[in-house]
Chain A
Amino acid sequence: MIEAKRLSKHYGRTVAVDDLSFTVNPGRVTGFLGPNGAGKSTTMRMILGLDRPNGGDVLIDGQHYAGLKHPLRKVGALLDAKWVHPNRSARAHLRWLAKSNRLPVSRVDEVLEMVGLTAVAGKRAGGFSLGMSQRLGVAGALLGDPEILLFDEPVNGLDPEGILWIRQLMHRLADDGRTVFVSSHLLSEMAQTAQDLIVIGRGKLIAATTTEQFIHDATEDRVRVRSPQASRLRELLAGQALVADDAVDGALVVHGLAASVVGEVAAENGIVLHELSPQRGSLEEAFMQLTKESVDYHAHD
C-alpha cells in the first residue's frame, strides 16, 4: 500500500504538487492520470525518495522508501527507460542492480529471459531502441520480484507491439496479486488497464475512485432526435430534460433522458421521429472536461 498525505512540492514559485493525498491499494492496478505537467512524475519521484517533498509525507507499507532494507525487493520502478549508461551492457546494468540488493546473479538471466532480451544481453544499452530500453527498464523493475510496481508513462513513444506488450505485462502483474501504480496522460489507455484511478491536475487531486465509477460519472448520456415536429417534442420534453439544438442540422440533443423514454414520449403524442440515437460521451472528452481548468499551457485558437 502506498499512502500519500498532504504531499507538496514546489520549484521556486512553480507549484508542482499541491496538498495531494491518496492511497494506492494493494493487489490492484491503480492508474495515475493527469495532463502533461500535472505533477505525476514529481509525485512518483517523491514516493521513491528521489525528490524531497516540501510538505507532507508518503509511506510504502508504513515506511519511507529510504527506510527499506533492500528496496528493489519491495518496490520495482520504471520511471525512465533511459536511466542506463549507454556504454554498459544490459547484463552489466542488471548485474550491479542485483548485487546492490543481494540478489543472485541467476536472477539477472531470469529477468532478461522474461522480457526477451537474452539475445542482446551483452550488447551496449546505448544502441537499444526505445522498445528494447523499455524492456530493460522493466527487467530492472522486476529484478527483486517486488510486490509493488511503479511505472511512469510506460507506453509513451512505443510502437503498437510495445504498447500491447506493456498492457499484457500490467495484467499479468495484477493477476499475480501485485500492487501496480501506473501513470498516464491517456484515459483510454488507463481504462484498459487500471481498476482504480487517481486523477490529478496542476498538482491537485481531482478524483480518486474506481475506473468504472469515474467513467460513469464523467460521461453523460445524450440522445439525438430528429423530427418534423421538433418544436412540439421540445415542449413535451422540456419539463423532464435539458434540450439543446444541434447547430448543424437542427436536431434536438436531449441531456439526461434515456433514448427509450424519449421514444415513448413521442409515441404517446403521435410525434413522427426521423432519428433517435443515443450518444455515448467519449472518455477523452470527459477527461478533458474534468481537467480543463488544470492544464498548464493552453493552446490559443
Chain B
Amino acid sequence: MTLLAVERIKLFSTRSPWWCAALALVITVGITALIAANTSTEFPLTVGVTQAFYTFGMYVVLVMAALAITTEYRFSTIRATFLAVPNRISALLAKTVVVSLLAGVIGELVAFGSWGISKLIKPDVNIAINTAQEWRNVAGVGAVFFVGAIFAIAIGTLLRHTAGAVALLLVWALVVESLVGIIPKIGDDIQRWMPFVNGNRFLTAGTEPFPGEPVINYPFGAWGSLGYFAAISVGLLIVAFVVAKRRDA
C-alpha cells in the first residue's frame, strides 16, 4: 500500500497525466459528438456507434502509460526510486497498478462520456444500455484501457526511451495490427492473434460489423479475447520486469 501511495504522489505531482486524460476525453467525446449529430436513418445511432472511436482515447492513454515509466528513465528518477525501494519488481509493479487503474478510469469516462454526449445530441434515439453485450461494449472500454496501459508500461520499461516506446506502440497498435491482415493467405491467421485486435473484439463481439470492416474468425469468445489480450500484456510485463531487475539502473 505504501508503494501505491508513492506512485500515486509521483503520478499526480506532474502535469502530463492530467493533460493526457483531458486530451483522451476531448478527442473521443468530441468526435463521437460529431458522428452522433450526423447519424441518420441510413446510418443509425446505436450503442456500438457511440463507442466506435474509443481507440482515439486509447492511443493517448497508451502514450501516457509509456511516459509514466520512460520519463523516470529520462530524468533518472528511476534511480532515486530504486535507491528508496531496492526491490525493483515491487516498485515497478506499484507503478503499473496505479497507472493502469488511472487508464481504466479514463476509459470509463471516455466510454460513458461518448455515450452521454450521443444521448444529449439525439435524445429521441433509443440508445439505452440494456443487454449484457451492450454493457460490455460500453463499460468494457475501461478494461481495454487498463490492459492496454499494462502493455504500454511493459514496452516503456523495456525500451526506456520515450520516442522509441511511443513510436513502437503507435506503429504497432495503429499500423501493424490492422495492416497485417492484407498479407495474402496467412494475413487473417496472424491478425486474429493480435493483442489489440483481440481487445477490440472483446468490445465489439456480437455487434453488427461496420460496412467494410473485415470479418475475422477469432480463436476465442468475447471474454476469451480480453483474457488473451491481458495474458499477452502481462507476459510482456513479466519479461520487462525481469530485464529491469537484471540490468544496471
A interface residues (Cβ-Cβ under 8 A, vs B): 45, 48-52, 65-68, 71-72, 77, 79-80, 82-89, 92-93, 95-97, 99-102, 140
Contact = CB atoms under 8 A, between A and B. Distances in A.
A181 B83 CA distance: 16
Nearest to A75: B83
B71 A65 contact: no
Interface stretch (B8-16, B139-147, B194-202): B8-16
26 contacts: A45-B249, A49-B82, A50-B82, A50-B248, A50-B249, A67-B86, A68-B86, A71-B86, A72-B83, A77-B83, A82-B75, A83-B75, A83-B77, A83-B80, A85-B14, A87-B14, A87-B15, A88-B13, A89-B13, A95-B9, A96-B13, A97-B80, A99-B6, A99-B9, A100-B6, A100-B81
Nearest to B246: A52
Interface string B63-80: 000000001000111011
Nearest to A100: B84
Nearest to A97: B84
Interface in B203-231: none
Contacts of B248: 45, 50-52
Contacts of B13: 85, 88-89, 92-93, 95-96
Interface string B83-117: 11111000000000000000000000000000000
Nearest to B71: A85
Interface of B: 2-3, 5-6, 9-10, 13-16, 71, 75-77, 79-87, 246-249
Nearest to A64: B86
Given A51-B248, A71-B86, A99 B76 contact: no
B15 A79 contact: no
- Please list the 9 inter-chain residue pairs (A to B) with the smallest Cβ-Cβ separation, ordered nearest first: A92-B13, A66-B86, A100-B84, A96-B9, A51-B248, A83-B76, A50-B249, A100-B6, A87-B14
A153 to B, nearest CB: 15
Nearest to B74: A85
Contacts of B75: 82-86
Given A45-B248, A50-B249, A71-B86, A85 B6 contact: no
A83 B84 contact: no
A49 B15 CA distance: 31
Nearest to B10: A96
Contacts of A89: 13
Contact of B84 (A72, A79, A87): A72
Nearest to A125: B75
Given A87-B14, A102-B2, A92 B9 contact: yes
Nearest to B249: A50
A79 B76 CA distance: 11
A93 B14 CA distance: 10
Contacts of B15: 87
Nearest to A143: B84
Contacts of A77: 83
A50 B77 contact: no
Given A45-B248, A52-B248, A66 B77 contact: no
Contact of B76 (A67, A82, A96): A82
A84 B77 CA distance: 6
Contacts of B2: 99-100, 102
B8 to A, nearest CB: 9
A105 to B, nearest CB: 10
